[in-house]
Amino acid sequence: MEFRALIAVVALAFTATAFAQSKDPVDSSIASLPALNAQQTQTSISGLSSGAFMAAQFHIAYSDDLVGAGVVAGGPWNCAGSNPLIAPLATAVSTCMNPCKYTWFCPDSLFPDSTFLSKLAQDKAEEGVIDDVANILDDKVYIFSGQSDETVVTQVVDSTEDFYLKLGVDASQIRYNTSVNAGHAFITNDPADTVCDETQPPFINNCDLEQATRLLDHIYGDLQPPVGRLTGELLRFNQREFFESDMTSMDDAAYVYIPKACKEESCRVHVALHGCEQGIGTLGTGYVTGTGYNEVADDNQIIVLYPQIRKSEPLPFNPKGCWDFWGYSSGDTPPYKYYQKDAPQMIAIKKMIDRLTTANTPSSQSTANH
């Protein structure tokens, strides 16, 4: 989960310009993501750590399609672009994490500039590379920072709240929790999980708080409490059909949780993004089944999509399996577009959402099987 170690290695290993790579043939033995006729106007997204940065990016880039976002231990949209004079990678592992870790002074100027980023978002919307930022004015936003998190410190996460406020989101629509003595982790109430204030794999901590429930309830409201026993289906599906190149660092497979009712009814969709070192290649289904999303989704007609990133090197250089919030999927060279709608990982997530919201017809199933 520690991003900072990336920079020293990247300086040595990632000096070449990225080149296009064709992907391997699709594995026909893995199921296709089904078309489920989900509600097109009730999609939301959340993530932890690098997944939180990606969730914030996707929320702003595709704001026309979303009703809310959850940012757990992450910074604002395009955090790595906070200083246009510094390469995004350098900003990502400093400004966007713990910029005062190795300094004896800590001015506000070391942290993400939410004023600059909010103005930049408006400019990028006018350029058409992200959706109109006015779309987020009626959205709900859940933000969390643990008091013992030294990986992405609270002052960085503060800038996430400030970013949304500067774009005009009313404070009543933002739930920002800084009251828990948590490490850098997703929070549960499972005694089997890591002690609350620790920061260690698998980065899922017991703080006697059902974070997935709090997050989804804030976005959607009036949810039923989590069920004791799941009745839906956890489906492993072929993720490769949603991206064009191995330069994305996306895994071959991903998961979706489909509540039983959603086989027949039109349900909502929530996208849950893991953090670094939490993909299925590292944790198996630990994040997919251990964060509590499925339990709250099961009786509330919410389909939960779990896109997956894998570790990759040398190109793209992503040895910890992080979501791209600094530009590795486009070669770590300008022009950077990791925060735009046409960024490779953004496109893949959007395609998966579109599949789920497509009507379940013979023609859609034929498309899903190719």
Please identify every residue annotated as catalytic. 49, 149, 184
| CA–CA dist 160, 82 (Å, integer) | 12
d(CA 179, CA 146): 7
CB distance 345 to 242 below 8 Å: no
Distance CA 101, CA 257 (A): 39
> Rounded distance, CA 257 to CA 306, Å?
8
Q: Which two tokens stand for residue 205?
A: 């901590």
63, 135 Cβ separation under 8 angstroms: yes
Q: What is the 3-state secondary structure (H, E, C) of 150-185?
A: CCCCHHHHHHHHHHHHHCCCCHHHEEEECCCCCCCC
Torsion angles phi and psi, residue 72, rounded to 5? -105, 110
CA of residue 126 relative to chain centroid, distance: 24
